[in-house]
Amino acid sequence: MTAVDKTVAADAANPATLVRDSVKTVIAASMVGTAIEFYDFYAYGTAAANYFPHIFFSDKANPTVALLMSLLTFAIAFIARPLGSLVFGHFGDRMGRKTTLVVSLMTMGIGTFLIGCLPTYNTWGIAAVALLCLLRFVQGIGLGGEWSGAALVATENAPEDKRALYGSFPELGAPIGFFLSNGTYFVLESFNDSDAMLAWGWRVPFLLSAILVIIGLVVRVHMEETPIFRLAQEQKKVVKSPLTEVFRKSWKQVLQATFLVAVTYTLFYTLATWSLAWGTKEKGEGGGSLGFTNQEYLLMLMIAICVFAAFIVISCVNADKFGRKRVIITSSVLLVVFAALFPFLLNGEIVGQRNFVANMAFLCIGFALMGTAFGPIGAFLPELFDANVRYSGSGIGYNLAAIVGAAFVPTIATWLSSHWGVHSVGIYLGVMALCCLVAVLSCHETKNVDFTK
């Protein structure tokens, strides 16, 4: 009997317990939250790299310091995310995936929308900066419960032999959110000059996020609770204190999950946020004097993000066929090689200015490796944990990775490149790839685990 046959037989034997949402509902409910997550975060990352240094941290005497200060606010949400995963993970394992995901999406959406309503430093002074930091923290709290819940909606509704493919649904939200955010800025900058963008244009992506949030809420309110959680409830396996259980029995898996994911964060924000500043700003402003306009770089990123999406699906199909470990080991080794070589593509003294071929090679290869590393995570992380602590365990690991791998990436990369050149950024990425390799080698293959236990 195949894995699919076993799943069908189990469904027939327990019709009230293992009734699954339709594939369309699973895709929409799991993908929309991650799309909003990356939309919000990249909208903020783009604004922090290009507009906030002038709006909230204006320092004409030292533009690099203003850029670094702006990018530091980018880190606040990542620091808040583990706290959000503790809160939402607890309720997700106690009350269910559905209700928790609705509340996390609302929290995230409110924080993002209000950032678009903020007064500038010239209007409210330091109070404007304080509110920006507070709303960024609220964003992080909401995001802390988002990914793990979305991954569980997908994988806990999946046939046994297609968990990685179903786990790709929330992962595909990343390139979708990225594309929407980038596309919004691209359109805005096509019809407005820099003065208009600084005056009001930067607000539009944050305000438009409300549309995505409303769509997400409608989908999630109408979805069913996942069959695996309902089964845990019927079998009285729901624990009163999931967090205590996670740290008592699964602390090793939390550490493994953290370093499995951390390199994908480091790579993403190196490609999407740091490289945007490096490619469009002069050396005196913290960039690499590569000569690209902001609009040109956004267009290149939008092309490369399609490669990201394609490789998420390819890697997940391979993860279902060959196993999660083999795919992630391959991506980690290739990332070490990429980290050693990509600085040559971004060195203006070697490739010159406005070298579209070299920059597109950097972005497309980088996003191909990002998709390969990121895709299987949607199934691999939940599979490391038992069903009764799966929301908490996978969420804590994923969001600790946000601190280790993402919180300070744009700031660290900008500081490294301005002091020691672009090759130091390659060393930074290479170290993170090696950490991922050690983590995945310490894991057991999870492709055939019993996901109901």
Q: For 349-355, which contacts have Cβ atoms below 8 Å and span 24 or more sequence positions? A: 353/289, 353/290, 353/291, 354/290, 354/291, 354/292, 355/290
Residues 261-305: tens digit of each pLDDT: 999 999 998 998 899 889 998 888 778 889 999 889 989 999 999
Share above pLDDT 70 across residues of the chain, in percent, rounded to a whole number: 94
Q: Which residue, 132, 112, 111, is CA-closest to 120?
A: 132
Give the pLDDT score at 13.
Answer: 43
Query: Mean pLDDT across the stretch 225-252?
Result: 83
Using alpha carbons only, what angle is made at residue 257 by residues 255 and 259, rounded to the nearest 5 degrees?
A: 75
Q: Which residue, 287, 263, 26, 50, is CA-closest to 162?
A: 26
Give the pLDDT score at 383.
Answer: 94
Q: Is the pLDDT of residue 231 over 70?
A: yes
Question: CA 204, CA 144: separation in Å to the nearest integer?
Answer: 24
Give the pLDDT score at 362.
Answer: 97
Question: CA 144, CA 167: separation in Å to the nearest integer?
Answer: 18
Q: Is the pLDDT of residue 352 over 70?
A: yes
Q: Is the pLDDT of residue 64 over 80?
A: no
Give the pLDDT score at 441.
Answer: 97
Question: CA 226, CA 102: separation in Å to the nearest integer?
Answer: 14
Top-confidence residue, 27 or 10: 27
Q: Is the pLDDT of residue 354 over 90?
A: yes
DSSP structural state of residue 62:
-
Q: Is the pLDDT of residue 16 over 80?
A: no
Asked whether the beta carbons of 401 and 262 are under 8 A apart, the reply is yes
Give the pLDDT score at 426.
Answer: 96
DSSP assignments along 163-194, one per residue: HHHHHHHHHHHHHHHHHHHHHHHHHHHHHS-H
Q: Residue 376 — very low, low, confident or very high, per pLDDT cuts 50/70/90?
A: very high
Give the pLDDT score at 8.
Answer: 38
Q: Which two tokens stand for residue 82?
A: 């583990």
Domains and CATH numbers, the chain: 22-441 (1.20.1250.20)
Q: Residue 54 — very low, low, confident or very high, per pLDDT cuts 50/70/90?
A: confident
Q: Which two tokens stand for residue 26?
A: 């699973």
Query: Mean pLDDT across the stretch 39-58?
Result: 83
- Worst-scoring range by mean pLDDT, 16-20, 41-45, 175-179? 16-20
Residues 206-217: tens digit of each pLDDT: 999 999 889 888
Q: Cβ–Cβ contacts within 10 Å for residue 25, how many?
A: 17
DSSP assignments along 258-317, one per residue: HHHHHHHHHHHHIIIIIHHHHHHS-GGGTS------HHHHHHHHHHHHHHHHHHHHHHHH
Question: CA 85, CA 75: separation in Å to the nearest integer?
Answer: 16
Q: Is the pLDDT of residue 17 over 60?
A: no
Give the pLDDT score at 93.
Answer: 87
Q: Cβ–Cβ contacts within 10 Å for residue 349, how many?
A: 8
Give the pLDDT score at 4.
Answer: 37
- Residues 6 or more apart whose Cβ sits within 8 Å of residue 104: 33, 84, 88, 142, 143, 144, 145, 146, 149
How high does pLDDT run on average in the chain? 87
Most confident of 32-36, 189-193, 270-274, 336-340: 336-340
Give the pLDDT score at 21.
Answer: 62
Question: CA 175, CA 178: separation in Å to the nearest integer?
Answer: 5
Q: If you search the block for the tokens 């089964």, which residue do you land on?
A: 231
Query: Mean pLDDT across the stretch 379-390?
Result: 91
Ramachandran area for residue 10 (φ above 0: left; ψ -120 to 50: alpha; else beta): alpha
Q: Rounded to whole angstroms, what are the CA distances from 449 to 163, 256, 431?
A: 11, 17, 30
Q: Cβ–Cβ contacts within 10 Å for residue 12, how many?
A: 9
- Worst-scoring range by mean pLDDT, 148-157, 236-245, 257-266? 236-245
Q: Is the pLDDT of residue 226 over 90?
A: no
Give the three-state DSSP class for 198.
helix
Give the pLDDT score at 68.
Answer: 78
Containing 68, the helix (H) or strand (E) segment is helix 63-94
Query: Mean pLDDT across the stretch 168-196?
Result: 90
Asked whether the beta carbons of 375 and 312 are under 8 A apart, the reply is yes
Question: CA 359, CA 249: separation in Å to the nearest integer?
Answer: 46
- Worst-scoring range by mean pLDDT, 18-32, 73-87, 93-107, 118-132? 18-32
Top-confidence residue, 440 or 403: 440
* pTM summary value: 0.83
Q: Which residue, 392, 143, 380, 141, is CA-closest to 247?
A: 392
The HSE-up count of residue 195 (CA atoms within 13 Å, CB side) is 0
Give the pLDDT score at 243.
Answer: 82
DSSP structural state of residue 95:
T
Top-confidence residue, 8 or 49: 49
Q: Which two tokens stand for residue 264?
A: 């994908």
Q: Rounded to whole angstroms, what are the CA distances from 437 to 331, 430, 442?
A: 9, 11, 9
Ramachandran area for residue 355 (φ above 0: left; ψ -120 to 50: alpha; else beta): beta
Give the pLDDT score at 61.
Answer: 59
